[in-house]
Structure 1
């Protein structure tokens, strides 16, 4: 390396540090990661979030707005030329059109930048007047987030966990038997690997659609451009003390390690490790509807998510140098609009109880975490009906195949979340003393005022927790 190369490298480092100093001190950027589990509504959340920040008539619980600190919000060009821009305008048109429909699911990483003009406070208020804060919203599939838990797991540990999850699920006994009986010491043959991988992938994707986890890597569920590649053609196997060279087991172990190094690590390095705040959208109602096994699976998944994060509060100098940590994490139980408002506290309490269990197992400390019941887009109105002599608090909304709105009663959630936890601890097959029904509502037709974004439930409270401190 010549002197010019050394000088050039030093110059780049100084320029990078200077950019970091400028960003941290003058125009800070907050990176908000948005992900969700089992169709919890990431695209809808981001679309409604942006719309309601641009038109803030429905955001009374956003403190920076009510105290006059937040002056204006506007969309900026996508900051990273190599990452897809989140299709905000397309999704908003689908949700607010004359015949509204749900937007497509998230299938890859995308970003969007909002910029806030904020009134300065303290010593610099007289000099600076207003300052700019950027919010980069990073959207990525929740399935990929689960892979972060693999980084500390050996192939043996992962196989044991995955085989146990498959065995415990309905219809999984046959697949678990085939995988357990595989001859791990036989010479490796690609057709056999593809055959078993196809069975494992089919089972894992079906489990995912039912809101359950088979322990499969996220790209098995949502492969993208990796579909059919060797890095995804591996399965969990019973472990030998040591696989022999050239054996089937040895190649499966090698591909598992390649998946971690070639797929998971780059995702962590390029996207996940730069996130400051994180929201995880969770469909707790659907899990409750499916029973204790689905809720236990959800609780384990939340633990895996927490274990994958680098917990702790960023220090000023650490943040300046780029070593960021997630400072705040919100687990949001979505579809609160499927319940009458009188049951929202129960939904939040159950989510919080599941989160506390997950936090304990993951040893998550140093960051602020919270659970909340929200609806990024309210699709229903509330109603009270009489049915078989009982007065029921219901919701009304559009459902597919019906010309008129239908009234829906979800059941009564327990006021004490320990009733749910006790059922999980006892390995119960069904709930005792309560039941939960599920409904798929369509977006409601909207007639928005000029200063209003789409109707929601507690979206403003969620925003205030996640980024409110950066706007004051």
Structure 2
């Protein structure tokens, strides 16, 4: 009996050792990279160009594993999650690189793609141990869904109060606020009224996003998918009644808000977010600056909320869900850097760093390494020097998306001191007093790619190195 148990224990030990040895021999590692972005930040373009430039690395000198000759091969593989849609890389790449290039359509739900690397081992003994295999699982999801995490710790009345206070001065919110005038939250529930309120509030969210605001939650209102028209998306913020009543409008919208948290928000974080190792958040900071101080302040709050999502101790729901796991690296990337001359890129990065300052130290303390960077996943412009008001200025030239005509843009100089933007934003200024920042929408340029090259970009290689370069080098 004792001998039998001892033999069984030895057998289990040898089995475990065999599994460990097998793991060491196969040396397969998986990195799950979350890619999200706030409105119009270029998430689909980022993923498409990243994959194309990893498969053809002629433009990736900033990726250390490539510069050191460690990458022996990269190929696409079937993704591991059979119930998640595949990111349509081939279609998006064809849109960017065709004879009539165009920006690919944005994705409006979770999708996934797997890239596998065969990487030579580093060090003195590396040549004797054979190559390693590293799988990069890219998980694409809307940034608005990430902002929904804040709802998990807010009651319906707390959420309603915050929303109504925040949107009160915004012109786009006027129709919804007018719909609340004279409305008694304690009145008996009426489905038609609930649908009208939800539709008007959704119209506000869409207009707010177009105006450059980022706090457009609940996120599924703008991307309903198969949930369109369902009760779980048929609610809106209401003032708290003096005396809550069962069967009232307030009671039913509160119930639906709680169902949204339970049936929509919770499964997303459980099934996708909780498994992410590294994260990139794309931010269209230039459009926010162009939209004015209020949009910049709204962007700062949104970024603080997003970064807070990666600090489990701040959110009891997330603490229970992650069970000690945490995202190891988070990169905030200011996209569309090709809309500026390279001489202004350090200023754009400094502004992004300043926007992150409030929440970043807490994430660093929690163990996540954070970074900020200005990049362009696909470069759509070329640089040139113009004469403006009797002086030479650094500009960019490209094909205008709206007209198809070539145009040069000098958007105005970003300030060296980010406080010149952030202070008026925090103080609630309605417009910039001493500057006019312009922005244009450029179409993708026609590309002529040599063998081994991906689409032209700005700092995509450095972003890749920050996000997962250490895993490729076995660090």
TM-score, reference length from structure 1: 0.90
Q: In the alignment, what sits opposite 1:284?
A: 285
Would the aligned equivalents of 1:180 and 1:237 in 2 still touch at CA under 8 Å? Answer: no
Give the CA deviation at 1:426: 2.2
Q: In the alignment, what sits opposite 2:334?
A: 333
Q: In the alignment, what sits opposite 2:202?
A: 201
Q: In the alignment, what sits opposite 2:416?
A: 415
CA deviations on 1:45-81 (whole Å, 9 max, x unpaired) are: 0000000001101011111111222222111112221
Q: In the alignment, what sits opposite 1:28?
A: 29
Would the aligned equivalents of 1:162 and 1:214 in 2 still touch at CA under 8 Å? Answer: no
Q: In the alignment, what sits opposite 2:65?
A: 64
CA deviations on 1:419-455 (whole Å, 9 max, x unpaired) are: 1121123221222332210000000000011011000
CA deviations on 1:174-230 (whole Å, 9 max, x unpaired) are: 422433643111111111111111111111111112221455300011111111100
Q: Distance in 2 between matches of 1:117 and 1:449?
A: 23
Instruction: State the secondary structure of the residue aligned to 1:33.
Output: strand
CA RMSD, Structure 1 to Structure 2 (Å): 2.5
Would the aligned equivalents of 2:379 and 2:457 in 1 still touch at CA under 8 Å? Answer: yes
Would the aligned equivalents of 1:31 and 1:277 in 2 still touch at CA under 8 Å? Answer: yes
Tell me whether 1:471 sits opposite 2:468 in the alignment: no
Give the CA deviation at 1:299: 0.8
Runs (5+) with no aligned partner, structure 1: 1-13, 313-320
Instruction: State the secondary structure of the residue aligned to 2:378.
Output: coil
Paired residues for 1:124-273 under 5 Å? 125=126, 127-179=128-180, 181-213=182-214, 215-240=216-241, 243-273=244-274
Quickly say closer, same or farther: Cα 1:129–1:360, change in 2 above 3 A. closer
CA deviations on 1:358-384 (whole Å, 9 max, x unpaired) are: 436889732111111000000000000
Would the aligned equivalents of 2:186 and 2:243 in 1 still touch at CA under 8 Å? Answer: no
Q: Distance in 1 between matches of 2:379 and 2:101?
A: 13
Paired residues for 1:4-15 under 5 Å? none
Would the aligned equivalents of 2:344 and 2:414 in 1 still touch at CA under 8 Å? Answer: yes
Instruction: State the secondary structure of the residue aligned to 2:132.
Output: strand
Give the CA deviation at 1:327: 0.7
Q: In the alignment, what sits opposite 1:89?
A: 90
Quickly say closer, same or farther: Cα 1:205–1:404, change in 2 above 3 A. closer
Would the aligned equivalents of 2:144 and 2:217 in 1 still touch at CA under 8 Å? Answer: no
Q: In the alignment, what sits opposite 2:10?
A: none
Tell me whether 1:386 sits opposite 2:359 in the alignment: no
Residue correspondences, number: 449
TM-score, reference length from structure 2: 0.89
